[in-house]
Chain A
């Protein structure tokens, strides 16, 4: 087995309370030592990590890859590579594929493709209901055993409240966490952006903030009854935060994430009908963005996700309401996370908690730590590099980004997955 040394980097790992310049030693796929080279260890390869941050690889709780079903947008191979080059070592893909991830064979297919790609690890999230139709429960136990760490309804809602309760009760019986994106389907209607002054100006149907808060209220009431672990996905409204705070203080087993897009962009970015900013849930007001940012440091929001959703060019080439929602996020994810550190919104330890350690806890997977004996899933990030986002130079096959032309600071130099180096070129 290969022996690897990562030398001279600033190693940051809140799980082991580490933040200093030191060396890491890796044997095969495991971390075996910090600081002093273990005796009898002969190094096959050294990575010069001076002037970089060496941290646990990112764990992305919500992404789409395109495959199976829409390979023109992206494939498991192309997107798992883009993820790895973006510092993500484990990612969860949503089950709203074609076919839907609602049976073990589909899980097995995705896992095989990901193994063949040998890039970021891919964990498929299982459909909470068959075909995501919201009517019949999926075979959650079989999906879980095949490797789905959690069940989710993806972007859809279960309209029938009793089915939602049953799904929660069943998942709770097996202690499987469920991930729900809270949105009342009736209040959201055909909305394609935040309901407010900009939607009124542009004449676009809006999704009101109450579509989210009403759904959170309903899910909380049901989860209290079902005693299930619920993770709220992609919180967008500031009004949702007080509800989540209430749920947590009450002792409900509730966690929540926010998409990186929601922390940078707002409804104002849709002026001029910019379809690159068409996302689900919609970008909300500047006030929402500020309050969501504040909830990162306080821990009220547990996780940040990339919400990566690659598209072919044509998907965004239409009048705004007819375009497909989503932003290709892997290429810019880590740099935008680091931007939050630079702007003083969070510190490095919080970044790693939000984008690696906490999502790993919630998913119940072994990741998010550089402790000795852990898998060698490591991001090496150079905070000094300045680069400009250019669609032509993206690793994802989806070049749908609203950040095109933006100058970002900090970039992943290389990523270790199971002790294997992944790097551009």
Chain B
């Protein structure tokens, strides 16, 4: 059964046909994504204006959860690949039953759509949909529950590689709400597959998931030792609803203990970079001067997101087109 999670993303030739999670993909495929994305970026770091790779294809942004930036960059990426784009925002409450999710899907398939970009609040939603679409349709996961956000992780890897080169000798700290973060889970997987040995997660125990060490990370409860001598600092967004209740006492206290300030950043390597999947809560997880400072690559991440999404979409589309034997066990 674990094989299905790994193999469902690949066609018989071992090429990407869906992009659901980083888990189960090889280092070769992740490097292909990064290299393909490089091809969409010029020397100044700007994304090419338009290529015809997805001409005549229809891409549907199927968002069951609100998102502005992710949806927009997917839309831009699809348009720069010359695809037609349809945006559908469906409130999760209207489709809380699985049958209507499948109904929605069959209707869209009947309209001859070629690719679905899915965001859903249930972990496993993209896998579920990928198991039930027709063979010519490709699924890209734009975030499912707490599970996975693989394009975000790959744009982060792209950004890190542009600044740091190889991953092997890097120390990376991921700080904040690891428990509820699909971004952190995907980043950890990607970093480990790409060869990073020292991946740290930093946060209070209320925000660290059980047995996370099994994913190949070290846990730090305190920020200072967690940041010491790292090359990359990744700050996670703290959702509003986590700031009260029993997970944390308050946003203020969180900033006191886990907020990234200039003083704390001094513990990291002098050439370290600061990342954030956005949108940032200034004064909660990160000081404004750091978010806007010279070591911050936060806006670059957004730009790179377009190139990486173009890479993933074009690779997956060519992965479904290749005539191949079905790879799923069922």
Q: Which residues of A contact B (CB under 8 A)?
A: 195-197, 199-206, 208, 268-274, 314, 316-323
The smallest beta-carbon distance between A24 and chain B, in angstroms, is 43
B145 located at the interface, meaning its Cβ lies under 8 Å from any Cβ of chain A in the complex? yes
Restricting to B150-187, which residues have a CB under 8 Å from any CB of A? Answer: 182, 185
List of 3 A-B pairs having minimum Cβ-Cβ separation, nearest first: A318-B98, A203-B147, A203-B146
Contact of A317 among B99, B124, B182 (CB under 8 A): B99
Cα A270 to Cα B97 with chains together (Å): 20
Contact of B124 among A195, A206, A314, A319 (CB under 8 A): A319
A314 and B210 contact, CB distance less than 8 A: no
A199 contact set on B, CB distance < 8 A:
209-210
B123 contact set on A, CB distance < 8 A:
202-204, 273, 319-321
Cα A205 to Cα B180 with chains together (Å): 9
Contact of B210 among A208, A271, A272 (CB under 8 A): A208
Cα A204 to Cα B214 with chains together (Å): 16
Cα A316 to Cα B131 with chains together (Å): 13
B68 located at the interface, meaning its Cβ lies under 8 Å from any Cβ of chain A in the complex? no
B23 and A201 contact, CB distance less than 8 A: yes
Cα A25 to Cα B105 with chains together (Å): 60
Are A204 and B23 CB-contacts (below 8 A) given A272-B127, A319-B120? no
Contact of A273 among B5, B96, B146 (CB under 8 A): B5
B122 contact set on A, CB distance < 8 A:
318-322
Cα A205 to Cα B97 with chains together (Å): 19
B182 and A203 contact, CB distance less than 8 A: yes
Cα A389 to Cα B102 with chains together (Å): 27
Q: Which residues of B contact A (CB under 8 A)?
A: 1-5, 8, 23, 96-99, 101-102, 120, 122-125, 127-128, 132, 144-148, 182, 185, 209-212, 214-215
- What residue of chain A has the Cβ atom nearest to residue B127's Cβ? A273
The smallest beta-carbon distance between B256 and chain A, in angstroms, is 27
Cα A316 to Cα B128 with chains together (Å): 11
B102 and A204 contact, CB distance less than 8 A: no
- What residue of chain A has the Cβ atom nearest to residue B5's Cβ? A272
> 10 A-B contacts, Cβ less than 8 Å apart?
A201-B214, A202-B123, A203-B185, A271-B1, A271-B5, A272-B4, A273-B123, A273-B127, A320-B128, A321-B123
The smallest beta-carbon distance between A362 and chain B, in angstroms, is 34
B2 contact set on A, CB distance < 8 A:
268, 271-272
B145 and A200 contact, CB distance less than 8 A: no
B1 contact set on A, CB distance < 8 A:
268-272, 274
A317 contact set on B, CB distance < 8 A:
98-99, 102, 132
Cα A204 to Cα B146 with chains together (Å): 7
A271 contact set on B, CB distance < 8 A:
1-2, 5
Cα A317 to Cα B99 with chains together (Å): 7
Contact of A322 among B4, B8, B98 (CB under 8 A): B98
B214 contact set on A, CB distance < 8 A:
197, 200-201
Count: A-B pairs, CB below 8 Å: 98
B97 and A318 contact, CB distance less than 8 A: yes
A206 contact set on B, CB distance < 8 A:
210
A197 and B98 contact, CB distance less than 8 A: no
A203 and B148 contact, CB distance less than 8 A: yes
The smallest beta-carbon distance between B59 and chain A, in angstroms, is 21
Cα A334 to Cα B122 with chains together (Å): 35
A318 and B5 contact, CB distance less than 8 A: no
A269 contact set on B, CB distance < 8 A:
1
The smallest beta-carbon distance between A287 and chain B, in angstroms, is 13
A321 and B145 contact, CB distance less than 8 A: yes
Cα A61 to Cα B146 with chains together (Å): 37
A201 contact set on B, CB distance < 8 A:
23, 185, 214-215
The smallest beta-carbon distance between A305 and chain B, in angstroms, is 24
B99 and A314 contact, CB distance less than 8 A: yes
- Known contacts A319-B122, A319-B128; can you find 18 more A-B pairs with CB under 8 A? A195-B210, A197-B210, A197-B215, A200-B211, A202-B124, A203-B123, A203-B144, A204-B124, A204-B145, A206-B210, A271-B2, A271-B5, A314-B98, A316-B98, A318-B128, A319-B124, A321-B124, A322-B98
Are A200 and B98 CB-contacts (below 8 A) given A272-B5, A272-B127? no
B96 contact set on A, CB distance < 8 A:
322
A202 contact set on B, CB distance < 8 A:
123-124, 147
Cα A333 to Cα B2 with chains together (Å): 25
B209 and A200 contact, CB distance less than 8 A: yes
The smallest beta-carbon distance between B72 and chain A, in angstroms, is 24
A319 contact set on B, CB distance < 8 A:
98, 101, 120, 122-125, 127-128, 144-145
B8 contact set on A, CB distance < 8 A:
272
Cα A273 to Cα B123 with chains together (Å): 9
Cα A196 to Cα B97 with chains together (Å): 27
B3 contact set on A, CB distance < 8 A:
272
Cα A199 to Cα B146 with chains together (Å): 10
A268 contact set on B, CB distance < 8 A:
1-2
Are A200 and B148 CB-contacts (below 8 A) given A269-B1, A272-B2, A319-B98? no
B23 contact set on A, CB distance < 8 A:
201
Cα A268 to Cα B185 with chains together (Å): 18
- What residue of chain A has the Cβ atom nearest to residue B126's Cβ? A319
A316 contact set on B, CB distance < 8 A:
98
The smallest beta-carbon distance between B162 and chain A, in angstroms, is 28
B147 and A200 contact, CB distance less than 8 A: no
The smallest beta-carbon distance between A350 and chain B, in angstroms, is 30
- What residue of chain A has the Cβ atom nearest to residue B7's Cβ? A272
- What residue of chain A has the Cβ atom nearest to residue B208's Cβ? A200
